[in-house]
Structure 1
Amino acid sequence: MDAPEHATALSPRSTPDGAAPVSRQFISLYALSYAGGALLFLGPLLVSLALKVNDLVGLEDAPKNLALVTGVGSVLAMVSNPLFGRLSDRTTARLGMRRPWMLAGLAGGVLGTLTIALAPTIGVVLVGWCLAQVFLNALLAAQTAILPDHVPVAQRGLVSGVLGVCLPAASVAATYLVQAFDRTDLTMFLAPCLVGGLLVAVFTTRLNDRRLDPAHRPAWSLRELLGSFYVNPRANPDFAWAFASRFMMVMAYAFLVTYQAYDLLDHLGTDQRDVPHQIYVATLLQSAVLVVVSPLAGRLSDRLGRRKVLVAAAAGIYAVAMVTIATASSPAGYLAGMAISGLGFGMYMAVDLALVVDVLPPTRSSAKDLGVLNIAGALPFALAPALAPVILGLTHHSYTALYLVAGGCAAAGAVAISPVRGTR
């Protein structure tokens, strides 16, 4: 049973099926924690990591060095997320199943970020980003598992929609903090860490976490370990199609966020001193649209009992946004594309997570399965940096071509969701 809103316990220990609705207090603190975790990722990813690399090697060599750093980090993220999800599903600690990994992930992620801030070479930046990716994915795996752990089916669209607001909110906060504290590398990286870490810590201390009876913990084996990275697509085709849709959508997003600083510098001719502010303004505009759309789309999917059509429409809108950015000839066109992307991404992230949780395989390993799904969120950040230099090389350094490819990825994400049968 869910605790009353005035109580300190925030959630039931029972499974969500048939459980009382979670409280507004739980949803609020969960959302703030989710935003805090995103802030830890996005502070470096959106602005400061690209600028750090540019400072160390210069604009001409920055794209390939950034590709190396983000690509290797994303490979580690792909391994880390489902692995820590599996470990979380097996954890019998007195602190609970999810809380130990949230705390360890937070500590290691902050350490990795500080390593980047103080790095004198690209090699040290790479080490720091890899460290951050491993531990922040442990945090993410545990955070995501809170949704199927504690939220009843009837509220998943609502909560998923609220969580959909967290990414743009974190994006705005990250870009604001970076531009506000960009006097040194240390302050530029440290400010998002402090704010994000505090939000995660508050929820972690208040969470009435699930505890696993040691007698119910499955035996550990090599097969169990390898199973951390796999869900049988023949046995679970709906999950496989949802994975494919998210992969293509996040691939489009990865092209945008990883290379938007260089698009502004090279394609639109923005002065480097103005790039943090320009990205902040664009992210603020994108997020303002997303914050309005995301909870409305999530609630609408609950009321209609339909997820697929909203997910497909959202991916299609995001494809239009990528084409708008690709063809922009001025900062105004770039801003228009970012606004449209807020509409598409807000709808998608609000409804897709609820759709995925609805079609999870009927097992007791929800964190592992969501960790496998999160490979679809990590793999594009490994592939996009590897593909982007090839695309740019073949098109004479055309960022227009790069973002047209991103638009095609988003369109493919819309198509991939149609074969799902387990939910409307």
Structure 2
Amino acid sequence: MSTSTTTVRHEPTAPVGIRFIALYALGQLGLWAGLLTPITVTLSVKVGAVDPEGKAASLGLVLSAGAFLSMAITPIWGNLSDRTTSRFGRRRPWLAGGALAGAGGLLIMAVAQNVPAILLGWCVTQVGYNAAQAALNAVISDHVPERQRGRVSGILGPMSNIGILVGTFLTTMVVDSTSLMFLLPGVFAFAAIGLFAAFLPDRPADPGLLGPFRLLDLLRSLWVNPFAHRDFGWAFAGRFLIFTANAFKLTFGFYVITDRLGYAPAEAVSLVFTATLVFTACSLFTATVGGWLSDRTGRRKVFVLVASLIMGAGLLTLGFAASFPHYLIGSAILGFGTGTYLAVDMALVVRVLPNRDNAAKDLGVFQIANSLPQSLAPLIAPLFLTIGGGDQNYPAAFTAALCFAVLGALTVIPIRQVR
């Protein structure tokens, strides 16, 4: 496999069919099942088992380290994918290899007996799945024409939530085996991503259009000038703030159920599945309707703004939940907002990419806005969790999440290329 970068690539015009969309959605579903199930459930269970006294700090360390690694490595994978001249295509090798490496990281965590081993496994998982994610993200720019992106994004957007749902369901089947709770989502992810890779109409980069490859290019993978590309910068800031808000829920949602609502960890696994089911049902509905309406009206910004505010309201409800039914209401509100947000914001982002010829690289930079909050939220959360004494002030932490969501909503206003 050789690497370099294409300089010319035309915008896709041919519409994509149902089989392509279904397999693309399946690949996204598998990725998120493998990557987000540990964040949502199994890492909390594993870290709580090996370090019950310091579980919050240890979990924050593991998630932060993995997210920082993800932030650094994803744009590099994207750059290399854009420049790949393998006969298997420029996306397919990264899809298959990333899924395999991600499963290997889950295996390490499955057999880990201490926090450092869990940390190692999580870093390997992040490296692998982010290679696959860099390639997956670029497929929409490679193959989906502008007029279909809202609808396709509306289908792809909820896949992260459905992936959590599938992953947590698999964990409920093997709740007595922590090892299998890690491994089953990994097997599913490998099968789903592999099937999409097998049918993807992928082509290698054209060697005749490649410039010389320099190591410095990898460092440049980590940067897009937000002043030269202001709309991209505002979109990046918005995604960063919204995902920072959502990271509070991903990191501490399980502990809200155990610490605030008083459920045992084994029971909490099933409750997380129930909450995820409610969240996913609501997000599927609004993703489908929101994506269709956005394409129909030609507008993106108003949908992203309103959806962000709804997400903030859902997060606040979760943090103040006094019972599990109350927690379910928060999950529903968050789902309604998240569905539309993920559907429409991705279409907005693809529209403001600095250079569509380097879509995987630029989307890899944008992925930093998804990954960095996973590091920052566990680090800044103690500032709010410790308000008033103790370390379980979840209402204060989720109020902070609401503030991040409101700020994220406001960032779409200055964007000019998109209505």
Task: Tell me if TM exceeds 0.5.
Answer: yes
Matches within 5 A, 1:24-173: 24-58=18-52, 60-173=53-166
> Aligned with 2:13: secondary structure?
coil
The alignment yields a C-alpha RMSD, in angstroms, of 1.3
For the Cα contact (< 8 Å) 1:16–1:152, is it kept in 2?
no
Looking at structure 2, the residues matched to 328 and 43 of structure 1 have their Cα atoms a distance apart, in angstroms, of 23
CA distance in 1, matches of 2:281, 2:50: 34
**CA deviation map 1:86-116 (0-9, x unaligned):** 0001111100011111111011100000100
- Tell me the amino acid that sits aligned with residue 407 of structure 2: A
State whether residues 391 and 401 of structure 1, in contact with CA within 8 Å, keep that contact through their aligned partners in structure 2. Answer: yes
| Distance in structure 2 (CA, Å) of the matches to 1:388 and 1:195 | 32
1:43 is matched by which residue type in structure 2?
Answer: T
Does 1:423 pair with 2:418?
Answer: yes
In the aligned structure 1, how far is the partner of 2:12 from the partner of 2:399? 46
Q: Structure 1 residue 19 and structure 2 residue 17: aligned?
A: no
Please, what TM-score do these two structures have when normalized by structure 2?
Answer: 0.96
Distance across 2 between alignment mates of 1:321 and 1:19: 38
Aligned-partner Cα distance in 2 for 1:134–1:413: 27
Q: Does 1:405 align with 2:390?
A: no
1:341 equivalent in structure 2:
334
TM-score by length of 1: 0.95
CA distance in 2, matches of 1:395, 1:50: 25
SS of 1:394's partner is coil
User: Gaps spanning 5+ residues in structure 1: where?
Assistant: 1-13
Q: Distance in 2 between matches of 1:44 and 1:278?
A: 16
Q: How does 1:3-402 map to 2 (within 5 A)?
A: 17=11, 19-58=13-52, 60-396=53-389, 397=391, 398-402=393-397
Range with greater deviation from structure 2 (155-164 or 213-222)? 213-222
The C-alpha deviation readout for 1:206-246, integer Å capped at 9, x for no partner, is: 11103211122232224422210111111100000000000
Query: Once structures 1 and 2 are overlaid, which stretch shifts more, 74-83 or 266-275?
Result: 266-275
Distance verdict in 2 for CA 1:415–1:95, change over 3 Å: same
The amino acid across from 1:295 in the alignment is T
Distance 1:228 1:18 in 2: 24
Deviation digits for residues 14-37 of structure 1 (CA, Å, limit 9, x no counterpart): 966352101111001000111111
Shift of 1:363: 4.6
Runs of at least 4 residues off by over 6 Å: none
Q: Secondary structure at the match of 2:38?
A: helix
Per-residue CA distance 1:324-367 (angstroms, 9 max, x = gap): 11222111111100000000110100000000001111351110
Contact kept? 2:256, 2:319, Cα under 8 Å = no
Comparing 116-125 with 361-370, which one deviates more in the overlay?
361-370
Count of matched residue positions in the alignment of Structure 1 and Structure 2: 410
Q: Distance in 2 between matches of 1:43 and 1:305?
A: 35
User: For the Cα contact (< 8 Å) 1:289–1:343, is it kept in 2?
Assistant: yes
Q: CA offsets per residue over residues 17-66 of structure 1, 9 Å max, x none?
A: 352101111001000111111111122111011100000011x3100000
Counterpart of 2:223, as a letter, is Y
**Could you tell me how far apart the structure 1 residues matched to 2:319 and 2:177 are?**
32
Q: Distance in 1 between matches of 2:252 and 2:170?
A: 20
- State the secondary structure of the residue aligned to 1:421: coil
Moved more, 350-359 or 291-300: 291-300
Conserved 8 A contact 2:355-2:362:
no
Which segment drifts farther, 93-102 or 323-332?
323-332
Q: Deviations over 1:111-162 (max 9, x none)?
A: 0001001001111000000010011100100000000000001000011000
Displacement after TM superposition at 1:169 (Å): 1.2
Distance, in Å, in 2 between the alignment partners of 1:274 and 1:362 is: 48
Contact 1:84-1:138 at 8 Å conserved across structures: yes
Of stretches 354-363 and 62-71 in structure 1, the one that deviates more from structure 2 is 354-363
CA contact (8 A) 1:323 1:404 kept: yes
